[in-house]
Amino acid sequence: MDKIIQWLAEHNVKHVQCLIGDHTGIARGKVFPVEKFIEDGGCRLGETILLMGATGDLVESKYLYTLADERDIDMILKPDANACFMLPWADEPTAMIIHDCVDHQDKDIDLSPRNLLKKVVELYANKGWKAVIAPEMELYLTKTTTDSNQILEAPLGQSGRAEIGRQSFGIDAISEFDFLLKDIYKWAKEQGLELDIVVHEEGRAQFEFNFNHGDPINLADQVFVFKRTVKAAAEKHGITATFMAKPISDQPGSAMHIHQSIVHIDSGKNIFSDENNDSGFSEAFYHYLGGLQKYTGQVMPMFAPNVNSYRRFLADQATPTNLHWGIENRTVGLRVPDAPPIAKRVENRLPGADANPYLAIAATLICGYIGMMEKTQPSAETSHKANKERNDQIPQNIEASIELMKNSETIREYLGENFVDGFLATRQAEYNKFKSVVTSWERHYLLTTV
């Protein structure tokens, strides 16, 4: 706590946002005057907050108190000195500090997404390995509207015009939003977010931001903060930024591509590399790929957590719908960049931008880990265009996805019964809420025709 108090003083902080990320990835917590935060040394929050979906509703009552204490008790939030960030957009110096969730015996709460990622990272550490990841985050900028039935439109750029058509990697298309991108990079630097490049993606006013590679927990924290930062920067300019997987029906979806490699803790050597092998890849690399192919479908709710997530996989040429792997092949779900030995890695292209970063990173790492433990062999490399090829292992919708994960004994063994049941309960609660809503499509096509 002394390190945090010193950091607060150095930044002249007046208010502290004590945050955790729920299963959806929404920031939840409390805001303290800095003096009260220091006095309390953290805060408490109801345990059932981790059983809340995007709509704000709790899971079904028949599950709620089998997953959490029936007394609706508080959990203890412990601030992490390595997860302190300033809010550059706040009127007064304000910090957001990401917390870990523990019970009154100082034991990790297993429903917590951040705790789950720590658990997976520890599995690697116990083998003498360290996972290294690098996320790529896609998003759309849109005109702001309060009408949820209104189709989203591209916002006006600094030329006063909106984009028409697709401007993949367009430099002038990036320049149209310099006023916003400058704020994002400025604020990111002030927060210590290690953003690398930005590119214009295929969609109208769709962008991708790349992060420098590093520690999984630190990068998950950065993505969590980045999402809040981009939304705040867009709002400053009267624009909306969205990380929905498929916000516009005739445009490409938005992904969270996750590059991943594994190194020895002591030597720093990349275990995916084997220069004595003609391919340049090690057995561990192939087993890791095999694990991703075998188990990705069984953790799909962690990559595609919402009803909308699965629209990204429908007739979207930019989104792989398979678990094939290939070197420098962007039409497969598991792309392997052509990289030197020290940078041998896998890029998982299946997760959506709407996924909780802690859970998406944990999911991809656990699949690869199980593959290495089981010495799972992957399929042969795919060297052809595979956009339209679909694997049966990838569920077609959230309902099938929930069912597949629920019935996976292996995933339950590694991630824990309580986490799996709790996480799937929040996904089911959101889906039940969705099913109760009559959509504009139904009104448009069925109102007078049936």
pLDDT per residue as tens digits for the range 329-347 = 999 999 999 999 999 999 9
Q: How many domains does the chain have?
A: 2
Asked if residue 60 has pLDDT above 90, the reply is no
Residue 64 banded pLDDT, cuts 50, 70, 90: confident
Shared domain for 57 and 190, answered yes or no, is no
Asked if residue 316 has pLDDT above 60, the reply is no
Asked if residue 61 has pLDDT above 80, the reply is no
- CA distances to 127, 239, 294, 369, 370 from 375, in Å: 15, 49, 11, 10, 8
- Condensed to tens digits (0 to 9), the pLDDT of residues 157-190 reads 999 988 887 778 888 889 999 999 999 999 999 9
Residue 248 banded pLDDT, cuts 50, 70, 90: very high
* % of the chain residues with pLDDT over 90: 79
Residue 401 lies in a domain: yes
Q: Are 227 and 352 contacting, i.e. CB atoms less than 8 angstroms apart?
A: no
Helical H runs in 238-383?
Answer: 283-295, 300-303, 357-374
What was the pLDDT predicted at 70? 76
Shared domain for 162 and 231, answered yes or no, is yes
Asked if residue 315 has pLDDT above 60, the reply is no
What was the pLDDT predicted at 44? 92
Assigned token pair, 416: 């824990």
Q: What residues make up the domain containing 282? A: 122-415
Residue 318 lies in a domain: yes
- Condensed to tens digits (0 to 9), the pLDDT of residues 408-422 reads 999 999 999 999 999
Residue 85 banded pLDDT, cuts 50, 70, 90: very high
What does residue 74 show for φ and ψ, rounded to 5 degrees? Answer: -85, 150
- Condensed to tens digits (0 to 9), the pLDDT of residues 224-241 reads 999 999 999 999 999 999
Give the Cα separation of 257 and 167 in Å (integer): 20
Shared domain for 1 and 138, answered yes or no, is no
Q: What is the mean pLDDT of residues 199-204?
A: 92
Residue 144 lies in a domain: yes
Instruction: Name the average pLDDT for the chain.
Output: 93
What 3-state DSSP class applies to 162? Answer: strand
Residue 290 lies in a domain: yes
What was the pLDDT predicted at 320? 86
Residue 116 lies in a domain: no
Shared domain for 63 and 194, answered yes or no, is no
- Condensed to tens digits (0 to 9), the pLDDT of residues 113-129 reads 999 999 999 999 999 99
Give the Cα separation of 156 and 176 in Å (integer): 8
Angle in degrees, CA 257, 261, 263, rounded to 5: 155
Q: Are 200 and 139 contacting, i.e. CB atoms less than 8 angstroms apart?
A: no
Q: What is the mean pLDDT of residues 371-396?
A: 90
Q: What is the mean pLDDT of residues 391-399?
A: 88
Shared domain for 97 and 134, answered yes or no, is no
**pLDDT top residue among 85 and 392:** 85
Q: Are 184 and 207 contacting, i.e. CB atoms less than 8 angstroms apart?
A: no
